[in-house]
Every structure is written in C-alpha cells, then in structure tokens.
Amino acid sequence: MSELEVIGRARLFEQLTKEQTERVWQLLTPARKRLYKDDVIVEDGQMVSFCGIVEKGSLAASKLYADGYLSLMLKFAPAYTLGMDIAATKTKVSTYYVSALTDSVVWIFDYDKIAKPGTLPEAERLLIMESLLALVAGENLRKMNKIEILSRKGSRERIMTFLAFESSFYRSSEFDVPYNREEMASFLCLNRSRLSHELSLMRQEGILDYDKNHFKILEEDWVSSDEVKRLADSVINYY
C-alpha cells in the first residue's frame, strides 16, 4: 500500500476527494520520520506544534506516574493521527509520552498549516478542521471511557467494563481488542499476572472465552447496560 493510500484513510481527510487529499498533502510539506522500537516521538512536558499521521508500524500514548508506573492510554495504528490534541491547546504542552511499539514511520507536518488560513485552499482547510474537531472530541470521549473503567474498584469489574465497552463498540459479542496481554494490563492499570488469572477464572465460570486478543462474551447480561451502550455509541459517532 502506498503512502497516500494510507494517508488518505486518515480521519483528517475523510471529507476530501482523492485529488483534494493529494493536493493538500503536497501543500502541507510533511516530513517522513522513521522510528525504531521504543523510540519516543513525544515527551511528557514537550512543546508540540505538529501533527503526525502513522504510515507504518504501531505507537502508544502512555502516562508515566511518579512511582514509575506506565499506564497505556491509546495505541496508534496506520492512518491514525497523533499530536493534534496537544497542538490544538493554548500551551501546546504534552502531558504524556508517545513511543514506538514497533519499527514505525510517521509523517509530520505543522499544525498551524491546517489551523490557520494561508497554506491550504480555504474550502479544504475548513473541511479538515471539521474532521479535526470531531476527532479530538472522540479522543476526549475515549479518555472519559477509560476513567469510567478505572473507577471500578475490583480487577474483575475493570476487565468486565472494558470488555463491555469493546463489545458494544463493535456491536458484537465476539471481537478483537487492540492490545496484547501486557498492553491490556497497562491500559487497565492491573498487574499482568492478576489480569491473566482473572481472565482464566472468568473462562472457567463460563462468562467468556478468548484466544490471545480475541474475546467472545458468553454471558451477555453484564455488557447490556444502557450506560455502557450510551458511552460506546458516543465514541462510535466519532470513529
């Protein structure tokens, strides 16, 4: 798949035609940045005035706490956009890290080229800004959903709430989560062994079944609450 085929799938350009996207992409004069596994592209406390679109690989946004614990916030796959939620703020200061989970390629461009008139044709710029607003709103809703998950006191309650969101998001009792076990444990702020133990018990009890990151909900009462559906539906509207 070519660079522009991946870039064209980015939410920023969803309202543009292929020809418009190609023209806008040239005007943005992006720089291709190659990252190796564990390379950091955004530091906590860094001033960020750029946006990035992932062409290849996988990256993660993580929060490092004072006790040294690293909590996974979000993974970025090809065509995902990063940095906008920071660059769009008044201070432009990041409160988290973004690092490469695998060898990756990210295209970087100046946020002001889409935020301010002058670089892009105004009609296309306004369409991009509409998509940007929806994308940032969606990211905020994802963060609110994580707060909802972490507000659950027990490890099982966190796991069940997380899987309920994923099930409702995909509108299916069978789905793939975007994390391996270590990443899922980090996202849920749980010890990996505790997560694996609890999942094993839930399978023994006939609540769910799984194979690596593929899950199947067998007992669906706990994923059908109106609150879970409402929150998941609100995110679907932006993705």
Q: What is the CATH number of the domain that holds 55?
A: 2.60.120.10
Distances (CA, A) of 34 to 57, 60, 94: 10, 15, 21
Residues in Cβ contact with 203 at an 8 Å cutoff, skipping those fewer than 6 apart: 209, 210
Task: Assess whether 73 and 157 both reside in one domain.
Answer: no
Q: What is the mean pLDDT of residues 70-90?
A: 91
Domain presence at residue 144: no
Task: Assess whether 24 and 132 both reside in one domain.
Answer: yes
Domain presence at residue 147: no
3-state secondary structure of 88: coil
pLDDT of residue 46: 95
Residues in Cβ contact with 8 at an 8 Å cutoff, skipping those fewer than 6 apart: 18, 21
Domain presence at residue 166: yes
pTM for the full predicted model: 0.82
- Residue 52: pLDDT above 90? yes
Task: Assess whether 90 and 43 both reside in one domain.
Answer: yes
Task: Assess whether 44 and 114 both reside in one domain.
Answer: yes
Q: Give the 3-state secondary structure of 190-230.
A: CCHHHHHHHHHHHHHCCCEEEECCEEEECCHHHHCCHHHHH
pLDDT tens column, 191-225? 999 999 999 999 999 999 999 999 998 876 655 55
Q: What is the mean pLDDT of residues 71-89?
A: 92
Between strands 174-176 and 214-217, the pairing is antiparallel
Report the distance separating Cα 166 and Cα 164, nearest Å: 5
Q: How confident is the model at residue 237 (pLDDT cuts 50, 70, 90)?
A: very low
Domain presence at residue 180: yes
Which carries the bigger pLDDT value, residue 175 or residue 170?
175
pLDDT tens column, 7-16? 999 999 999 9
Number of domains in the chain: 2
pLDDT of residue 137: 83
Q: Under a CB-based contact definition with an 8 Å cutoff, are residues 162 and 188 in contact?
A: yes
User: Which residues form the domain of 15?
Assistant: 3-139
Least confident of 22-26, 38-42, 111-115, 168-172: 168-172
pLDDT of residue 239: 43
Structure tokens of 5?
């085929």
Domain presence at residue 75: yes
pLDDT of residue 125: 97
Structure tokens of 226?
């109106």
Q: How confident is the model at residue 233 (pLDDT cuts 50, 70, 90)?
A: low
Select from 139, 168, 200 the last residue of a domain.
139
Select from 75, 104, 139 the last residue of a domain.
139
Task: Assess whether 225 and 174 both reside in one domain.
Answer: yes
Q: What is the mean pLDDT of the chain?
A: 88
pLDDT of residue 141: 79
- The backbone torsions φ and ψ at residue 177, rounded to the nearest 5 degrees and listed phi first, read -90, 150
pLDDT tens column, 100-130? 999 999 999 999 999 999 999 999 999 999 9
Q: What is the mean pLDDT of residues 80-98?
A: 93
Domain of 201, CATH number, reads 1.10.10.10
Burial code of 179-217, b = ≥16 C-beta within 10 A, e = fewer? beeebbbbbbbbeeeebeebbeebeeeebbeeeeeebeb
